[in-house]
Amino acid sequence: MKIVSWNVNSLKVRLPALLTWMKTVKPEIIALQETKLVDAEFPMSAFTELGYHAYCSGQKTYNGMALITRDNPCSEIVVDMPQFADIQRRLLAATWNGYRVINVYVPNGSELTSEKYQYKLAWLAAFEKFMQDQLAKYEKVIVLGDFNIAPTDLDVHDPKIWQNCVLVSEPERSALQKIVNLGLKDLYREIKPTGQDFTWWDYRAGAFRRNNGLRIDLVLASLPLLSSAQDYWIDKTVRADERPSDHAPVVVEFLE
DNA sequence: ATGGCAGGCTATGCCTGA
């Protein structure tokens, strides 16, 4: 079973590239972030024609989530966290074939002095409570998406440049750690303890060519799933294509 | 060298992203 997380930075722009890629990789589950489409504009038939079911929670211009699943539909779909009223569409959780899949687009935070940074920390605190509940209810849990947090300096091309910046700051890293400590593992680190593969590269300054990137797109899994996680890769070829997203898709393969 | 790139909008520059 292959599961994918990809921040597409506009599904409208990236749809042809996504469909081509899907036909090659044939994942069972695809979690998208930053679709930037209201639900009425979601390209449902493009996915159903390929034998997929698709679920979306979008808004105009910003954010927006989708979950696309092969063959079988999803149930128990959740797009809001209890006690965290939010117009920003950043969550889409669903159950597929016994897997609880939780797709997230964690706020960026802008800069440490910004109100948006406080919103990021509040969102993460609410998400911790949400995950506590989800892990109590479900056994096979996969949390994936754009976390907008590089877990450690090993996930940063140049920690000196990024020192004291949003995406690496201590409060957000410890907020992520608290969520992981509920009973999840960062699968990339499990599989590649000293690896330094990135998932995002700035569009500017030849960052991709220089491999100046960050690992901010993560796949976390509950402990019962650890032994079945077989492979993990970040598809950099897509980032090198014409008109790419600034994020590469991450793929995890589980034994059925 | 402190910039630069991309996407969306009711826009023709500004906001946001990371």
Tens place of pLDDT per residue across chain A (256 aa): 999 999 999 999 999 999 999 999 999 999 999 999 999 999 999 999 999 999 999 999 999 999 999 999 999 999 999 999 999 999 999 999 999 999 999 999 999 999 999 999 999 999 999 999 999 999 999 999 999 999 999 999 999 999 999 999 999 999 999 999 999 999 999 999 999 999 999 999 999 999 999 999 999 999 999 999 999 999 999 999 999 999 999 999 999 7
Distance in angstroms: CA A228, C1' B17: 35
- Planar angle of CA A174, A175, A181, nearest 5 degrees: 80
The answer to whether some atom of strand B lies closer than 7 Å to the beta carbon of A95 is no
Q: What is the DSSP letter of A183?
A: T
Among positive and negative, which fits the CA dihedral A85, A91, A92, A97? negative
Residue A211 CA to residue A208 CA, distance in Å, equals 5
Distance in angstroms: CA A58, C1' B8: 14
Residue positions of A annotated with a catalytic role: 105, 146
Distance in angstroms: CA A6, C1' B5: 19
Looking at residue A216, what is its pLDDT? Answer: 98
In terms of Cα–Cα distance, which of A247, A229, A226 is closest to A238? A247
The answer to whether some atom of strand B lies closer than 7 Å to the beta carbon of A210 is no
Looking at residue A256, what is its pLDDT? Answer: 79
What's the one-letter identity of residue A200? W
The answer to whether some atom of strand B lies closer than 7 Å to the beta carbon of A12 is yes
Residue A152 CA to residue A3 CA, distance in Å, equals 24
**Other Cβ atoms within 10 Å of A218 Cβ, number:** 27
Nucleotides of chain B in contact with protein CB (under 7 A) are: 3-9, 16-18
The answer to whether some atom of strand B lies closer than 7 Å to the beta carbon of A137 is no
The answer to whether some atom of strand B lies closer than 7 Å to the beta carbon of A190 is no
Residues 47-66 of A with CB under 7 A from strand B: 60-62
Q: What are the C-alpha distances in Å from A140 to residues A4, A211, A253?
A: 16, 34, 14
Who contacts A59 (Cβ-Cβ below 8 Å, separation ≥6)?
A38, A87, A88, A89
Residue A29 CA to residue A99 CA, distance in Å, equals 10
The answer to whether some atom of strand B lies closer than 7 Å to the beta carbon of A13 is yes
- Planar angle of CA A184, A189, A194, nearest 5 degrees: 160
In terms of Cα–Cα distance, which of A132, A147, A150, A221 is closest to A184? A221
**Other Cβ atoms within 10 Å of A60 Cβ, number:** 11
Residue A68 CA to residue A71 CA, distance in Å, equals 10
Is 0.95 topped by the overall pTM?
A: yes
Looking at residue A96, what is its pLDDT? Answer: 98
Nearest residue for B7, CA–C1': A10
Beta strands A2-7 and A29-33, pairing class: parallel
